[in-house]
């Protein structure tokens, strides 16, 4: 009884709320449909108790499902690891190299970033993944990448089962004109007697599951190779973007600097071991990291500070001339604005006529920027930023983006 209580009652019970999101609902539904249909079709096609091959096929199928769910739930519930609130470096002089987070009331450790959805500073943040409804970071990067590796393999196996089930069940019923392409199914057909009917409904369900399996194989397989590529360089997706901006900044200002990514250990195997270990616990404490001999612990954070300063200089001041309710799909703003909306999970912000916005980037039809807030909101760490239609704003005749007050308002967390 005590053992059962220890399983049911645990401190992070509130984490189960992560399941109540469209991402986990869709992901678990796809896993459930593909796995259950593959198990049923295995029973129809290759009864596991009659032959060794059938038994191996069935055991492998169950094994894929268990491993996929194990890594998926670990990626979701273990989490990425968070920087403690009000954290600051042991050496106070090092604070000058770090960004300050007004939400967490502390400094951002190297490689950490503040996630708006989790509302915390995340250790070695790669991205916020809607499919696990959590961030992918220091502690769960290995689980997440392993899930991306196993899911396509399991789907390939399931797709093979779906194809063979439809072929064997329709072999004697429909002539496809494949007189020269026939598989030898004598062993399964001789020893197997289907215990479930394979009618129109079963065929439709199998065909639907096949489509899910193939689509998942392609989509998740591409994500796996993207993750593997950054892991082999000991980077995160955010750090890849920071490195690209560093090169653009140096080229734009012709500073003559040479930016060396500090966490690349110049060995793919050494970089790989920073994420994947035999113990399952990633290397490092999430705050201090092994670095390239030509760099130091704050090489990346110093570059980030330079990029933030450059962004403040380049930002342009706009005044809101038309109200915008913050809708994700604003049909009222015109069809072109509707169809050209940015494909991103970044938020949209509500605009009221007369407000001031500092825009930092944008497209022909949409812009991204920070809303200028009053002094109380700024001191409280409130920040409102996101996308809005370009037609709602007009450029101010004067640009105060470089004055002291505006710079203080636009400081990043």
Convert the pLDDT of each residue in 111-146 to its tens digit: 999 998 899 999 999 999 999 999 999 999 999 999
Enter the pTM of the model: 0.82
Residues 6+ apart with CB under 8 A from 261: 233, 235, 239, 243, 292, 300
Q: How confident is the model at residue 281 (pLDDT cuts 50, 70, 90)?
A: confident
Q: Is pLDDT at 400 greater than 90 in this prediction?
A: no
Would you say 235 and 264 are in contact if contact means Cβ atoms under 8 Å apart?
A: yes
For the chain, the domains span 15-79+141-232, 315-409
- The pLDDT of 14-34, averaged and rounded, is 91
> Which residues lie closer than 8 Å to 285 by C-beta, 6 or more apart?
none
Q: Which long-range contacts (CB under 8 A, 24 or more apart) does 402-410 make?
A: 402/312, 402/313, 406/317, 406/358, 406/372, 407/312, 408/378, 409/358, 409/370, 409/372, 409/373, 409/378, 410/312, 410/315, 410/358, 410/370
Burial 314-344 (b: 16+ CB within 10 A, else e): ebbbbebeeebeeeeebeebeeebeeebeee
Largest CA distance in the chain: 85
Burial class (CB in 10 A: 0-12, 13-18, 19+), 147: buried
* Mean confidence (pLDDT) of the chain: 85
Q: Which two tokens stand for residue 137?
A: 């970071």
Which single residue is written with the structure tokens 């990448």?
Answer: 145
**Residues known to be catalytic:** 129
pLDDT at 184 over 70: no
Residue 329 has pLDDT above 90, yes or no: no
CATH superfamily of 315-409: SH3 Domains (2.30.30.40)
CB 58 within 8 A of CB 48: yes
The residues with which 113 forms a beta bridge, in sequence order, are 122
């Amino acid at each position: 009884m005590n053992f059962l209580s220890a399983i049911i009652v645990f401190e992070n019970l509130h984490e189960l709320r992560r399941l109540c999101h469209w991402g986990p609902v869709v992901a678990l539904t796809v896993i459930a449909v593909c796995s259950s249909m593959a198990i049923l079709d295995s029973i129809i096609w290759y009864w596991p108790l009659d032959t060794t091959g059938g038994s191996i096929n069935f055991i492998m199928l169950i094994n894929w499902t268990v491993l996929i769910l194990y890594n998926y739930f670990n990626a979701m519930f273990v989490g990425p690891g968070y920087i403690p609130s009000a954290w600051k470096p042991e050496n106070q002089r090092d604070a000058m190299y770090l960004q300050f987070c007004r939400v967490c009331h502390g400094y951002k450790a190297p490689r950490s970033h503040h996630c708006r959805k989790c509302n915390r500073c995340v250790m070695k943040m790669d991205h916020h993944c809607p499919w696990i409804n959590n961030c992918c970071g220091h502690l769960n990067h290995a689980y997440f990448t392993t899930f991306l590796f196993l899911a396509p393999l399991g789907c390939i196996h399931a797709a093979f089962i779906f194809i063979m089930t439809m072929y064997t069940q329709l072999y004697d019923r429909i002539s496809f004109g494949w007189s020269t392409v026939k598989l030898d199914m004598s062993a399964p057909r001789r020893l197997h007697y289907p215990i479930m009917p394979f009618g129109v409904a079963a065929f439709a369900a199998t065909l639907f599951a096949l489509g899910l399996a193939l689509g998942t194989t392609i989509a998740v397989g591409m994500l796996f190779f993207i993750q593997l590529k950054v892991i082999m360089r000991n980077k995160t997706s955010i750090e890849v973007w920071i490195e690209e901006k560093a090169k653009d900044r140096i080229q734009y200002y012709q500073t003559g600097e040479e930016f060396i990514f500090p966490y690349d250990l110049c060995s793919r195997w050494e970089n790989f071991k920073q994420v994947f270990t035999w113990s399952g616990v990633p290397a490092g404490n999430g705050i201090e990291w092994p670095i390239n001999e030509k760099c130091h612990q704050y090489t990346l954070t110093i570059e980030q500070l330079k990029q933030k300063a450059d962004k403040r200089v380049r930002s342009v001041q706009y005044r809101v001339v038309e109200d915008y309710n913050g809708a994700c799909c604003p049909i009222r703003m015109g069809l072109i604005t509707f169809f050209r909306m940015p494909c991103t999970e970044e938020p949209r912000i509500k605009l009221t006529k007369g407000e001031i916005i500092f825009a930092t980037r944008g497209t022909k039809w949409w812009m991204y920027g920070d809303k200028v807030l009053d002094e109380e909101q700024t001191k409280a760490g409130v920040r409102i930023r996101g996308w809005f239609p370009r037609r709602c704003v007009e450029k101010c005749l004067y640009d105060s983006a470089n004055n002291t007050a505006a710079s203080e308002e636009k400081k990043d967390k």
